[in-house]
Amino acid sequence: MKALFDVLAPDDPDFALASAIDADRLPAHIAIIMDGNGRWARRRNLPRVAGHKAGIQPVRTTVETCARLGLRALTLYAFSVENWKRPRAEVETLWRLLRIYLRSELDVMHRHDIRFTAIGRLDALPGFVREELDSTIESTAANRGMQLNLAINYGGRAELVDAVRALIEDGGPIDEDAISARLYTAGMPDPDLLIRTSGEMRVSNFLLWQIAYAELYVTETLWPDFTRGELLRAVLDYQKRDRRFGGIREAVRLDSMEAAAVRTQ
């Protein structure tokens, strides 16, 4: 939190939002479905790829803000296993933008001690994308701050299939820990907060296992318009939620009341 205040002037509208955040109750991991680039472009009579291009700035702002907040992990859904159905030119533009992003952000990643990883079926990506990803992963491997995961050619069901295959190959007990340990996100905390832009009420095959108890925040804002302020509002909204993980809020108090009632019977 302290690091975020380094860049916020007291008259910045985000200053009040940042001040309201409880630094002791931050989500450890935020996952984001970045949706609405196409609609953003259409509203401006621009080609869809202009929306993807405009989607890079909010990626930068979000990554930097999450790192400054001190999150442990941020996962961004950049390309799903279903996105290959899009026109070839759009898919190729996405790869080019990804390369531009990775090249331009390496310094920022180091400055914020960010460790970069990519999750998904990466083998199916074009060679130049894999090379760029590998070099960014390698270059940031020793960083110890926030882990930034880009989900690329990612599908939640595909991930579970891969995990089950690995489990069968490895043998051993089949339980929740054994599955979690074979997901692409092994070793990371599960997302506490899942943000989706552009208003659709869907999870779109994203981190299906990991979001079992995530709090959902859906905003009408299209991804290219997503700002630091909106991210801070999502975190504040998350901090108002009553997370019970299947239990009840006053479990501890009720336990002791029930115990007292039993004693007096």
55, 56, 59, 60 alpha-carbon torsion, rounded to 10°: -150
Q: Ramachandran region of residue 41, left (φ > 0), alpha (ψ -120 to 50) or beta? A: alpha
Choosing from 14, 31, 32, 38, the residue that interacts with ligand FPP (CB under 6 A) is: 38
CB of 12 to ligand FPP, least distance (A): 25
Q: Ramachandran region of residue 36, left (φ > 0), alpha (ψ -120 to 50) or beta? A: left
Question: 35 an active-site residue?
Answer: yes
Query: Which among 11, 12, 45, 83 is annotated as catalytic?
Result: 83
CB of 45 to ligand FPP, least distance (A): 14
Q: How far apart are CA 2 and CA 114, in angstroms?
A: 17
Identify which range of 11-19, 32-40, 64-72, 127-135 contacts ligand FPP by CB under 6 A.
32-40
CB of 259 to ligand FPP, least distance (A): 52
Please calculate the CA angle 95-121-144 and round it to the nearest 5 degrees: 80
Nearest CA-CA partner of 203 in 237, 155, 235? 155
Choosing from 78, 129, 148, 207, the residue that interacts with ligand FPP (CB under 6 A) is: 78
Residue 184 per-residue DSSP state: T
Question: Considering the rule CB under 6 A, would residue 34 count as an interface residue with ligand FPP?
Answer: yes
Question: Considering the rule CB under 6 A, would residue 156 count as an interface residue with ligand FPP?
Answer: no
Cβ burial 96-113 (10 Å sphere, 16+ → b, else e): ebbbebbeebbeebeebe
Question: Considering the rule CB under 6 A, would residue 116 count as an interface residue with ligand FPP?
Answer: no
Question: Considering the rule CB under 6 A, would residue 29 count as an interface residue with ligand FPP?
Answer: no
Choosing from 63, 71, 98, 232, the residue that interacts with ligand FPP (CB under 6 A) is: 98
**How many residues belong to the site for ligand FPP (CB under 6 A)?**
18
Choosing from 101, 184, 206, 217, the residue that interacts with ligand FPP (CB under 6 A) is: 101
Sheet containing strand 29-33, edge to edge, reads 115-119, 147-154, 73-80, 29-33, 193-196, 215-218
Choosing from 1, 91, 97, 181, the residue that interacts with ligand FPP (CB under 6 A) is: 97
Nearest CA-CA partner of 81 in 137, 157, 148, 133? 157
Query: Which among 35, 153, 190, 192 is annotated as catalytic?
Result: 35
> Which active-site residues does the annotation give?
35, 83
The residues that touch ligand FPP, with contacts defined as CB under 6 A, are 34-39, 52, 55-56, 59, 78, 83, 97-98, 101, 150, 198, 223
